[in-house]
Amino acid sequence: MPRVAAVRTQRVRVPLHTPFVTALRRTEFAETVVVTVEDSDGRVGWGEAPQVWRVTGDSLAGSAAALEGPISDVLVGAAADLSLAGLIQQAVVGNRSAKMAADIALHDLVARRAGVSMAEHLNVLVSTRLRLEAPAAQPTPSPRWLSPTSASEPVSKPTQLLTDMTLSVGTPADLAEAAAARAQDGFATLKIKVGTDAAGDAERVLAVREAAPGCVLRLDANTGWRADEAVAVLRTLADQDVELEFVEQPVARRDLEAMAYVRRNQPYRILADESVFDLEDLVDVIRAGAADAVNVKLAKCGGITPAIELLEVAKRHGLGRLVGCMMESHLGIGAAAALVAATDIPGEQDLDAGWWARTSPYAGGISYDGPRILFPDQPGLGIEGVLP
């Protein structure tokens, strides 16, 4: 068995073609730490640790220090197999972006050694896990994005995956213009960022509906509303017969009582995002009856390995599952997209971050064609290097 020979990091700054604005932040760049894990046979696995100060608290300097220090300490010299996945999670407290990077790189390395795509590798892993467990009771039929998976049967090698498109915080006119343009680009599902101004949020949503009447709409408040504001906005939209697939994270992360109140007092489905970083968070959300579904992101939970567990537990408890992203590069999006393909989660996912980049910073890897994320034909993530 080859052993891990080296762990190397470099910082990558990816300019965006359009500023990305939410209730929590505004950015014109995707900034990340790219890590490579090399084995004694010279194979290299790739991962990334995005900097997301306002959500995870992880910084470029902190992620690099964790990867070059305690995480490297547990990897270098050890057998380059998936037994290292648990050691990565235990190597350091917090630092989930760094754990994400190392975990993705490990899976990429194993997939490359097997000569299969990341999605094929993960499908085998997920299928094996499910076969070792008792069958879960099937939840009642639900909308497309809530539908249960049947990942116990391998899927064919995927070629593409559909994503939604996020509309940044802005005026009703700004949002209407962006919505019309994205619909013209072929996006069938739009996620509207709200939460900065509750008094005007209903008007923003109505403007998007008028500008893109054929699109499925999702809302994301990024913790920006109080419970009473959320209920007022959503009841106003319901009175206007606005159809919403879900409303994401309407209130503060830790205020599950408020989120449960919102869920009970308006008609739309509630999706937990910032409220769920790890398994303990997910259990708290389930016990509180605070959400109908969960948005699992690799940077929040620490990589593919813990994400698989979160998705499985959510499914067992009848929660819908969405796989999302931070403002990541094509590398992290490729890993998240492969996870979706492996677990066969239906519907448009929330993986548009790479679309915002002017160009991909990598040789190889995924690419975008409108709402379609196109998988590479090479083993693993298909990334061969960082472009100059």
Is 157 catalytic? The answer is no
pLDDT per position as a tens digit, 132-182: 664 444 443 344 443 333 334 444 678 999 999 999 888 999 999 999 999
Dist. CA 86–CA 73, nearest whole Å: 14
Q: Give ∠ CA 284-285-287 in degrees, rounded to 5.
A: 65
Q: Are 224 and 98 members of one domain? A: no
Q: Are 60 and 206 members of one domain? A: no
Q: Are 34 and 166 members of one domain? A: no
pLDDT at 127: 87
Q: Give ∠ CA 218-305-115 in degrees, rounded to 5.
A: 105
Q: Are 111 and 126 members of one domain? A: no
Q: Are 104 and 173 members of one domain? A: no
How many CB atoms are closer than 10 A to CB 3? 14
How many CB atoms are closer than 10 A to CB 65? 17
pLDDT per position as a tens digit, 105-141: 999 999 999 999 999 999 999 988 866 664 444 443 3
Among 115, 148, 169, the domain-final residue is 115
pLDDT at 26: 84
Q: Are 167 and 40 members of one domain? A: no
Name residue 380's beta-bridge partners. 117
Among 58, 87, 115, the domain-final residue is 115
Q: Are 234 and 258 members of one domain? A: yes
Among 69, 94, 115, the domain-final residue is 115
Contact 190, 212 (CB under 8 A): yes
Range of the domain at 315: 121-386
Domain total of the chain: 2
Q: Are 345 and 271 members of one domain? A: yes
The separation between CA 193 and the C-alpha centre of its own chain, rounded to angstroms, equals 16
CATH code of the domain containing 43: 3.30.390.10
Dist. CA 140–CA 149, nearest whole Å: 13
User: Which one is catalytic: 99, 191, 193, 300?
Assistant: 193
Structure tokens at 298: 């690799």
Q: Are 92 and 166 members of one domain? A: no
In terms of Cα–Cα distance, which of 20, 45, 26 is closest to 35? 45
Q: Are 108 and 127 members of one domain? A: no
> 279-288 and 304-316 are packed helices; what angle lies between their axes, rounded to 10 degrees?
20
Q: Are 111 and 260 members of one domain? A: no
pLDDT at 144: 42
pLDDT at 139: 44
Is 297 catalytic? The answer is yes
Q: Which residues of the chain have pLDDT under 70?
A: 130-156
CATH code of the domain containing 296: 3.20.20.120
In terms of Cα–Cα distance, which of 113, 58, 53, 50 is closest to 81? 113
User: Which one is catalytic: 99, 157, 191, 297?
Assistant: 297
Structure tokens at 295: 């948005």
Q: Are 198 and 342 members of one domain? A: yes
pLDDT at 174: 94
Contact 2, 40 (CB under 8 A): yes
